[in-house]
Structures are given as structure tokens and as C-alpha cells.
Amino acid sequence: MEERLALNDFLREYRFPFYIIQCTHNDRNVPNMHSHDFVELVYVVRGEAEHCFEGDCYPLCAGDVFIINPNEAHTFRIEKGKEIEIINCLFQPDLIHNSCLRELGVDDSMDYFYVQPFMSHSERFYHKLQLRERETADVLRLLQGMLDEWQAKKSGYRTVIRLKLVDLFILLSRVYKESLNEGRESTKRSSHHMLVRRINGFLERHYDEKLNINHLSTLFNISTRQLNRIFKQEMAITVIERIHQIRIEHAKQMLKESDEKVIHVAHKVGYDDPAFFSHLFRRYVGCSPGKYRAHGS
């Protein structure tokens, strides 16, 4: 059974949505298949395992780095007698503001970092980015620096962690670009499946904003007609229906975990009209927001 994790389960302070840990897994302490409401960046320090992601498993070894976006299910498969040591970095997408990354030269902001290095079956190094020796040293230095700051909690540590995280974003983006220039991976376009995954990742991160088909088609450089057709083929629902699904799931979580008024929950998940929100909630959940909160499910 798939578990659902929330970043709040790990946080020491609510206002700084970040957590980092270095840990070891073996065949006796493998995490269950799980998804979460945060972005997870994993760096493999040593050892080997298989990463089971969205129904497939891929080999991992030292120097691999990969991203898991919100609501993507994954776990590890580890052979008896083997283990894998990782640095796990968990954060909310809004920890670093998009404008900051644009000013620092990260192409297409957060969406570039989340999606581009990990795109299609051939383009994504089997859902990971394989670092070379010099890149490994730089990534490990940044992650270790974040670990030290997180554990010491000295004055200004939040700012230092944000800066190091931006450094890491830029470094990994450069690694990806260099790999393209050097022909280390195929440059063929993303498959329909990966295009839909990119769109889903964007919707998960921007569900609380004003979203429409025209904006998405411009963002992903595809016509509105083709976007709807591909999305319906892959997901069996329309883009707009997917937006509603994501928003309602987040609303359910807010109703269970906070005392926010329904009208405020509606606004926080992207709906200006509370009546329309309540109508959609009944349609997707089978009861009103108030009743859902009262019964806790």
C-alpha cells in the first residue's frame, strides 16, 4: 500500500520548508512505496540499489542524483547483503523564488531544473543524472554544507542553505547542458508520456495560481488542440479536470490539517469563487467541504 508523506512531518520550524538528512538503507530497512507533497532530491553517496519509480526500476550507484516531484510514488529495491547511502534533501518548490533563479541565470526557472535533466526514458539517464568525478565533488560539498548548516542552526543558516541550494540548481543545470553538448545523451524530443509528466509536475507546483489551457500551451510550446489530445490519451481526463483533481486533493489535506475557513481554503488552492469550489468538491469527493472536515475523511 502506498504511503503519503508530508514535509510538515519532518520540519522543525513551519516557516522554513526544508529538511536534509544523510542515511543508509539496506534490505532490512527499505522505505515502503510512498509519495509526498514536497520535492525530493536524492544523491547517492555510495553503494547500489534499484530505484522503483512510477512502475519501473532503475539501477543506482555512487554519483547518481535524481528528483522526485510531488505526488510521484517511489521506493528502493536492495539485494540482501547490500546497502545504499544517500543524502536526502526535501523542500517545497517555493523555498527559492523563481525570480531569484532567473536573475542567477537558471533557464526557465524551477521548471527547467525539475524537468529538463530528467525527461524521457533515454534523455533522463533512466530517471537519474550520472555525475562525473569533478561534478560529484562539487555536489557533495554543497550538500554537506547544507547538512552542516541544518544541524548547527547558527544565525543566518536559512539564508546560507537557500544560497547553497541555488548553487546546486545551477550546477546540475550546467551538468545537463554540458551532457547535451558532449553527446552524452540522446537529444530526441520527449515522448507524449514525458510531456504529460512535465505538465503534471508544473500543475502540482502551480495549482494555486491562475491556470488555463492557453498559458500551458504557450509554456510547453504546443497547440491547445494537441495539448488536450495528448493529455486525454495519456491520462484519460482533460487538462482542466486534472487541475481540479490536484486542487481538490490539496484542499482535502488543508481541511484535515488546519482550521482554515472553507472560503480561505478555496482561495489557497486557486478558486476565487467559494460556491464553485464547494460544487467541485462535492463532485470529486461526494460531500461538502464542511462535512468532509467534520468526518475527517
CATH of the domain at 62: 2.60.120.280
How would you classify residue 34: left for phi > 0, otherwise alpha for psi between -120 and 50, otherwise beta? Answer: beta
Residue 97 domain-assigned?
yes
263 and 177 fall within a common domain: no
Domain endpoint, select from 181, 211, 236:
181
Q: What confidence tens digit (pLDDT) does each residue in 121-134 have?
A: 344 433 577 788 88
**Contact (Cβ atoms closer than 8 angstroms) between residue 281 and residue 263:** no
Distances in Å between the alpha carbon of 178 and those of 47, 116, 131? 26, 13, 11
CA-wise closest residue to 164 among 142, 184, 185, 191? 142
247 and 209 fall within a common domain: yes
Q: How far apart are CA 287 and CA 297, in angstroms?
A: 10
Taking all residues of the chain, what is their mean pLDDT, rounded to a whole number?
81
Rg (CA), the chain: 20
Q: What confidence tens digit (pLDDT) does each residue in 23-50 have?
A: 999 988 888 888 877 888 899 999 989 8
Residue 77 domain-assigned?
yes
pLDDT of residue 21: 93
Q: What is the three-class DSSP state of 203? A: helix
Regarding beta strands 39-53 and 3-5, do their DSSP bridges make them parallel or antiparallel, or are they unpaired? unpaired
Residue 264 domain-assigned?
yes
Q: What is the three-class DSSP state of 35? A: strand
Grid cell digits, residue 47: 553503494
- Domains identified in the chain, total number: 2
**Contact (Cβ atoms closer than 8 angstroms) between residue 129 and residue 172:** yes
Whether the full predicted model's pTM is greater than 0.85, yes or no, is: no
